[in-house]
Structure 1
Amino acid sequence: MTQLDSRGLPLSTTSDLAAEHYRKGVDLLLSTWPGAAEALEEVIAADPDFALAHAARARLHAMCAEQAEAKARIATAEEIVARHGSGRERSHVEVLSLAINGQSTKALERALAHTDTWPRDIVILSLPLGAFGLFAFSGMVDHDQARVELCERHARHFDTDDWWFLTYRGWAHAENGNVTRGLALAQRAYDLRTNNANAVHALSHAMYEGGASEDAEKLIADWLPRYDRTGILHGHIAWHAALGALERGDSERALAIYTDCIQPSATAGIPVNVVSDTASFLWRLQNYGHTTPAGLWEAVATYSGEYFQKAGFAFADVHMALIAAAVRDRAAVEQRVDALTGLIKAGTLTAGTVVPAICRAGLSFAEEDYAGCVRILEPVVVDVARIGGSGAQREIIEDMLLLALMRSGEAVKARALLDRRLHRRPSPRDTRWRELLPA
């Protein structure tokens, strides 16, 4: 009997046990839920020559920032699939190998081609999607729209109650500005599978973009205790609750969440989330007018010193520069800017000039040169999406420009920017800032 995956695609294993654990492992993997590693190891034990099991395990290693393990596993999958495997499985392994080995542009190209032929191969369809997917980190300014188009192109291939597809389709629409549709899709995904960290993540984003941060806080407060703290999205989802508290001006609550779930010593998150979540939270706390307890920035700087020292990962570069600027390490920011400029000249930094510009603007802002920050940031703010991540994560760049305009006496420009933001998304914080401006 032909074995099938969870979306009805044939598998090249004859083991009922291997197929059963593969279906379970992939669903856990794609809901970012604990237990995926154990399930996939069970697959490999049941059928060591099942290439897709090794490929899925490689993908999970990569998600957990375990690069050496990921490369070893995908090499095993390549060796096996070359000996026996269907055309889909060979293409599947090839795409994952490109992604894991850092060939992101080729991986995106091959993933899109693969999903045109096999749209229900959700391990591969997941790669371009999400805040840290191949589209987000492609350097494209319109990656939000690209995700929507990809989901809509393949929507007819999925059941209306496919929790995985609903999750990512909802997230894509909410990030692209269609918050009402995105929220409805993500809510349906959550209702179908509550043990799905990605659905809670998508809902949190949709609620935030819709100006319903308090709803996101309530959702997370109820749901987070059931998600094991070893889950790699635990700290990041808590970060969303902390943002909601800051929106309301409740710095005490926000700091309590940070201390318990987000700071480096408290989270099991992957480095890119830990660096970006801690940096962006502390930046907001400090610049939204609250007291930042002594030592928090220094602890983040110590943690981040172990990661992302080589420039070229735009999303990390920006947050590393913010951390360095916050602890007054001007030399570190300048060295990163120089390295990024060199990559631009070599044509290897896909996100382009916006990346060193944000780094320099962050340094100017930290040094209270607000007019200088405006001069640097204003011309490139339209390209901020090129660094990747989500709208909520990138919002601090626009916040930086807004506060720099306010503090450098550019009230007219600040008011215009605030009016645009308030039209896009109701925000008690923006309303408070609007009231501070002269009539």
Structure 2
Amino acid sequence: MAFTDQRDLAISTISTNAAELYNTGIDLLLSLWPGADQTLDLAINADPNFALAHAAKARLYAIGARPSEAKVSIAHAKDLVMRYGDARERSHVETLWFAINGLSDKALDHALAHVNKWPRDVLIFGLPLGAFGLFAFSGMSDHDHARVELCERYSRHFSEDDWWFLTYRGWSHTENGSLSIGREKTQRALELRKENANAAHALAHTFYECGASSEAEELIASWLPSYDRSGILHGHIAWHGALTALEQGDALSALRYYDRYVSPAVSNGTPVNIISDSASFLWRFQAYGNEVMPALWQEAADYASAYFQQPGFPFADFHMSLIASHTGAGDSVETRVAGLSEMVQRDALPAGAVVPALCLAAQAFSSGDYHTCMDVLEPHIGEVVRIGGSGAQREIVEDMLLISYLRTDEIDKSKLLLNARLHRRPSTRDTRWLSDLQV
């Protein structure tokens, strides 16, 4: 008997039960909903030679920052697929093998070639997409556009009610500045499948970029309780709630979100999310005029000390420098900058010179040297996109430059930047700052 996945692609298994469990597990994985791990295990138990189920487990381990387990699972899948899989399945597993083993350039090339042949193979289609996908972390300066182009090129292969494709097509448009398209598609994706953390996350980004603070607040307050705290995006979506509260000037609610859901002591997210969410929230909270207890920065530093000690992951490099700069670890920032600069000289850092510049700017800002912060940031501000992440995450760099302008009485530069930001993204806080400058 022949079996297929949810998008009518053949899957090589001998078990009806394994096929059904695999399809359920893939939906849970694609929506980052709890239960994928156990469901895929049941599929493997039903058919131990089911290569795609082992590959899906490997992908789940990789998303959950469990690299050793991911490598074991994908190696086993690679062995099995050579014996039991077809051409599509072999390409599927090989692409995941490159991604899981840190060969990002090859993974991206293989993913794009694979999608060109099998566009409905969404586990591979998803690899270049998202704020932490292969495009975002490639060092490209146009990765926001690249995601839109990829989705639009193959949109004809998906139905209007494919919740997975709507999620990523909509989010790609949002990040590329097409907010009305992004909003329509991400809202529809969440309507079609409420148990979809990726759609809720994408919609939170859309509301942020639209300046729709009240709607973001309502979304997060109503949706987050339905998402178990073991969900990998729980803490990060709560981070969006904290940002929304800050945007509205409600520091108490923002800090409550952080304490309950976002801080390293309580979040079950991945290290890159926990470190970037804690660093960027504490920085924003403090930079916007609120007091941050030193213990909160130290808690973030204690957690971060186990991760990303070697330079070369630009998104993490910047956030690690934020934490180090606020906990008296300036030497570690200087060491990181030296390593990054050496990589730039060897042309071994795809994101380029913007990365050490951001680390230096973080250190200068934290020490109150706003002139140096401006001097370092201004030549690179147009290249910040190359570190990856989302627009909401990268906006902290613009905040750093803007607040440096404000604190050095660079009124004309402050107004220019604020007007540009308001043109791109309506903001209660930016409107308030601009009004203060014009009084």
How far is the alpha carbon of 1:437 from its aligned partner?
Answer: 2.1
Which piece of structure 1 moves more, 417-426 or 254-263? Answer: 417-426
Aligned to 1:285: 285
Asked if 1:406 is matched to 2:437, the reply is no
Aligned to 1:344: 344
Q: How does 1:364-383 map to 2 (within 5 A)?
A: 364-383=364-383
Aligned to 1:389: 389
SS where residue 257 of structure 1 aligns?
A: helix
Contact 1:120 1:157 in 2 (8 A): yes
Aligned to 1:213: 213
Q: Distance in 1 between matches of 2:421 and 2:298?
A: 32
SS where residue 312 of structure 1 aligns?
A: coil
Aligned to 2:90: 90
Which amino acid is 1:202 matched to?
A
How far is the alpha carbon of 1:438 from its aligned partner?
Answer: 5.2
Aligned to 2:75: 75
Which piece of structure 1 moves more, 122-131 or 293-302? Answer: 293-302
Q: Distance in 2 between matches of 1:230 and 1:84?
A: 34
How far is the alpha carbon of 1:434 from its aligned partner?
Answer: 1.0
Q: Distance in 2 between matches of 1:110 and 1:274?
A: 30
Q: Distance in 2 between matches of 1:67 and 1:251?
A: 37
Give structure 2 stretches of 5+ with no counterpart. Answer: none
Give structure 1 stretches of 5+ with no counterpart. Answer: none
SS where residue 241 of structure 2 aligns?
A: helix
SS where residue 380 of structure 1 aligns?
A: helix
Q: How does 1:145-160 map to 2 (within 5 A)?
A: 145-160=145-160
Aligned to 2:60: 60
Aligned to 1:267: 267
Aligned to 1:305: 305
Aligned to 1:49: 49
Contact 1:370 1:407 in 2 (8 A): yes
Contact 1:411 1:438 in 2 (8 A): no
Q: How does 1:348-359 map to 2 (within 5 A)?
A: 348-359=348-359
Which amino acid is 2:400 matched to?
M
Q: Distance in 2 between matches of 1:393 and 1:33?
A: 23
Aligned to 2:111: 111
CA deviations over 1:148-193 (Å, ceiling 9, x no partner): 0000001000010000000000100011000111010000000000
Q: Distance in 2 between matches of 1:328 and 1:351?
A: 27
Aligned to 2:29: 29
Q: How does 1:160-171 map to 2 (within 5 A)?
A: 160-171=160-171
CA deviations over 1:397-439 (Å, ceiling 9, x no partner): 0000111111122111111010011111111110121123256
Q: Distance in 1 between matches of 2:293 and 2:194?
A: 36
Aligned to 1:240: 240
How far is the alpha carbon of 1:359 from its aligned partner?
Answer: 0.3
Q: Distance in 2 between matches of 1:67 and 1:159?
A: 34
Asked if 1:134 is matched to 2:137, the reply is no
How far is the alpha carbon of 1:90 from its aligned partner?
Answer: 0.5
Q: Distance in 2 between matches of 1:294 and 1:387?
A: 28
How far is the alpha carbon of 1:21 from its aligned partner?
Answer: 0.5
Q: How does 1:182-201 map to 2 (within 5 A)?
A: 182-201=182-201
How far is the alpha carbon of 1:81 from its aligned partner?
Answer: 1.1
Which amino acid is 2:379 matched to?
P
SS where residue 437 of structure 1 aligns?
A: helix
How far is the alpha carbon of 1:80 from its aligned partner?
Answer: 0.7
Which amino acid is 2:103 matched to?
Q
Q: Distance in 1 between matches of 2:392 and 2:431?
A: 18
Q: How does 1:222-237 map to 2 (within 5 A)?
A: 222-237=222-237
How far is the alpha carbon of 1:294 from its aligned partner?
Answer: 3.6
CA deviations over 1:196-245 (Å, ceiling 9, x no partner): 00000010000000000221111111111110100010000000010000
SS where residue 154 of structure 2 aligns?
A: helix
Q: Distance in 2 between matches of 1:7 and 1:391?
A: 31
Which amino acid is 2:372 matched to?
G
Q: Distance in 1 between matches of 2:373 and 2:104?
A: 32
Q: TM-score, normalised by structure 2?
A: 0.99
Aligned to 1:6: 6
How far is the alpha carbon of 1:346 from its aligned partner?
Answer: 2.2
Aligned to 1:422: 422
Contact 1:357 1:380 in 2 (8 A): yes
Q: Distance in 2 between matches of 1:370 and 1:281?
A: 20
Aligned to 2:251: 251
SS where residue 379 of structure 2 aligns?
A: coil
How far is the alpha carbon of 1:82 from its aligned partner?
Answer: 1.5
Q: Distance in 1 between matches of 2:42 and 2:177?
A: 41
Q: Distance in 2 between matches of 1:103 and 1:405?
A: 40
CA deviations over 1:366-410 (Å, ceiling 9, x no partner): 111111110000000000000000000000000001111111221
Which amino acid is 1:49 matched to?
N
Which amino acid is 2:66 matched to?
E
Asked if 1:327 is matched to 2:327, the reply is yes
Alignment length, in residue pairs?
A: 439
Runs of 4+ residues over 4 Å off in structure 1:
none
Contact 1:40 1:57 in 2 (8 A): yes
Q: Distance in 2 between matches of 1:434 and 1:18?
A: 59
Q: Distance in 2 between matches of 1:91 and 1:346?
A: 32
Aligned to 1:181: 181
Q: Distance in 1 between matches of 2:74 and 2:422?
A: 47
SS where residue 378 of structure 1 aligns?
A: helix
